[in-house]
Structure 1
Amino acid sequence: MITRDDVLAAERRISKHVRRTPLLRGGSSSAPLWLKCEFLQHTGVFKARGAFNRQLAALERGELDPAVGVVAASGGNAGLANAYAAAALGVPATVFVPENAPRVKVERLLAYKVTVRQAGAEYIDAYEAAQEYVAQSGALFCHAYDQPEIAAGAGTIAEEILQDEPGIDTIVVAVGGGGLYAGLAAAAAGRARIVAVEPVSIPTLHAALAAGRPVDVTVSGVAADSLGARRLGDIAFSMASQEPPVSVLVNDDAIIAARAQLWSEYRIPAEYGAATALAALTSGAYVPQKDERVAVIICGANTDPCTLGDPTP
């Protein structure tokens, strides 16, 4: 479990290292919508917040040896965030990615001068390889989503949303392993509801709520590169058990259409995982009540720009 106090501590710790991203008003006059533009964050993804919080806290406690550095396992985005944070803090980083990680993300990782190692076909394969490396090297492991400091760092997004628009009723977020969801739930508790959106092909939260515990799910679909965790993290499940979110599922067609809409209407180059949140609204999977004030987190933009004008993945 994490609390809002953890999120506020993260906010103080990382404020000089991350961008306060804008909250863009969109939608229509009769149905306004706010888009939290986290795709403008360092490395193009919200995960920079958790990466800085994890590494800075470890440095404060003496748990991070600057000579040994950090290690992360990622489909791409968490690796980018931890590589950027490590470079900013002057420590080395090693990132394990699946063999099918998007080329655009691997190329960006290499640009940060980190060591990139490919392992297996899914995130879990990269994770297991990273754990072996940690045992051998003593590097600090930075989880993609299931560590308190990672989730608390992500939760600072909700603090910014509710500071900029205190009247927001609902925050809509895409869920993979659940770190972002967990942080938002902690920050927004008692102030705004959370709508947790997942692809039907990777329903980690939905399946966990149904089973009463995190369970493995199959991983497939257009958003698998960023939402491709095989099971929900323990922190996210604890948060969901305490105060269940509104859990909705969307299919690939809805995700593709939402991504195309973000580009055509706002010129936002969202990746499929980021478009998943908006897809809940555009597909009708979640229908706000009259006068409900909704903010949607557009959480990442590490995508191939050549595909933005193409309606197919």
Structure 2
Amino acid sequence: MTPDTPITADRIAATERLIRPHIRRTPVLRLDLEDFGLAPRPIAFKLEFLQHSGSFKVRGAFAHLLTRTVPKVGIVAASGGNHGAAVAYAAMRRGVPATIFVPSVTSPAKAERIRGYGADLVVGGDRYADALAASERFAAERGALVIHAYDQPETLLGQGTIGPELEADCPDISTLLVAVGGGGLIGGIAAWFRGRMKIVAVEPEDSPTLWRAFESGRPVDAEAGGIAADSLAPKRVGDMMFPIAQAFIERPVLVADGDILAAQHALWDKIRVVAEPGGAAAFAALLSGKYAPAAGERVAVLLCGANTTAVRFEPRI
């Protein structure tokens, strides 16, 4: 039985046509896991961190701004950092004011991106849930248009546009590993494939939002810590994505902070890719052996974000 949801393949395709002039078609890098010291097996990396603003989030941001009426006061969003940067970028390109609430755990790289795109940045508490509550108060007081990071139709429809890109570029792939925070990304992608591809969720052990939801049969509060707390640690997964997850997404694989850090180092050391912790989490499941593909399984990994100061370049002498 499939879920009754407004996030359909037809609507994702229509959204893709709408936002296409405003986003990048990110490339796929095909390698072999032998390059990372693992048993030989082809692997494809979807390099979504090359998207405008440094993550996939800009897809959803433009889906909102191109389909909804923006009041003069502008838009407001709560974010661990990547959503805020994407909304700020899209607002800059569309010429509308943006106010972004972030928690204190937001990385300096993401805060700098948000300010650099001209948005007003407000620190609203220690965790994403605190920033979300502050943004909701702001919206109620000012009348700003709310752009939710993961639990609005436009967000899932926008993020789901990765699906048709990947399917066109990698028709041979049978399994996709995707990191999960609030679930807008994986929910949108799973709504596109609707069981035609195995979708594996990967979460940090310290913020197992989808894992807790699967255990409880509904979205519930979960822990919100760890090395990827600025991108993969909302209070709970979205209500809108959860029926999609139940129908089309594998039970989450949990990875430790050490696994994520090792994946970051391996991506940089072997292929000179800089990924933030949340962006490397999906690969951490493979590298650590927490996810072991079956024989004949053709795997792709979504590298979803690279807003980090993990690598700093020194001035030339």
Q: TM-score, normalised by structure 2?
A: 0.93
1:162-182 deviation line (CA, Å, top 9, x unaligned): 101111101110000000010
Q: Distance in 2 between matches of 1:77 and 1:133?
A: 20
Q: Distance in 2 between matches of 1:242 and 1:248?
A: 17
Which residue of the partner structure matches residue 70 of structure 2? 64
Q: Of residues 288, 299, 307 in structure 2, which corresponds to 1:294?
A: 299
Q: Distance in 2 between matches of 1:307 and 1:260?
A: 14
Q: Of residues 255, 264, 273 in structure 1, which corresponds to 2:269?
A: 264
Do the aligned partners of 1:221 and 1:252 also contact (CA within 8 Å) in 2?
A: yes
Equivalenced residues, count: 303
Asked if 1:222 corresponds to 2:227, the answer is yes
Do the aligned partners of 1:76 and 1:101 also contact (CA within 8 Å) in 2?
A: yes
1:67-100 deviation line (CA, Å, top 9, x unaligned): 2211100011000000000111111100001123
1:192-218 deviation line (CA, Å, top 9, x unaligned): 110000011111001100101111011
User: Tell me, which stretches of 5 or more residues in structure 1 are unaligned?
Assistant: 309-313
Report the alpha carbon displacement of residue 28 of structure 1 after superposing the two structures with TM: 4.5
Which residue of the partner structure matches residue 59 of structure 2? 49
Q: Distance in 2 between matches of 1:18 and 1:269?
A: 21
Q: Of residues 114, 122, 136 in structure 2, which corresponds to 1:117?
A: 122
Do the aligned partners of 1:31 and 1:291 also contact (CA within 8 Å) in 2?
A: no
Q: Distance in 2 between matches of 1:223 and 1:294?
A: 23
Q: Distance in 2 between matches of 1:109 and 1:28?
A: 35
User: Tell me, which stretches of 5 or more residues in structure 2 are unaligned?
Assistant: 35-39
Q: TM-score, normalised by structure 1?
A: 0.94
Letter in 1 for 2:64: R
Q: Distance in 2 between matches of 1:194 and 1:82?
A: 26
Which residue of the partner structure matches residue 132 of structure 2? 127
| Counterparts of residues 147-186 of structure 1 (less than 5 Å) | 147-186=152-191
SS at match of 2:254: strand
Do the aligned partners of 2:190 and 2:249 also contact (CA within 8 Å) in 1?
A: no
Do the aligned partners of 1:71 and 1:134 also contact (CA within 8 Å) in 2?
A: yes
SS at match of 2:311: helix
Q: Distance in 1 between matches of 2:20 and 2:59?
A: 9
Report the alpha carbon displacement of residue 306 of structure 1 after superposing the two structures with TM: 3.3
Letter in 2 for 1:223: A
Letter in 2 for 1:218: E
Asked if 1:236 corresponds to 2:241, the answer is yes
Do the aligned partners of 2:201 and 2:249 also contact (CA within 8 Å) in 1?
A: no
Instruction: Report the identity percentage.
Output: 50
RMSD of equivalent CA atoms? 1.4
SS at match of 1:21: coil
Which residue of the partner structure matches residue 35 of structure 1? 45
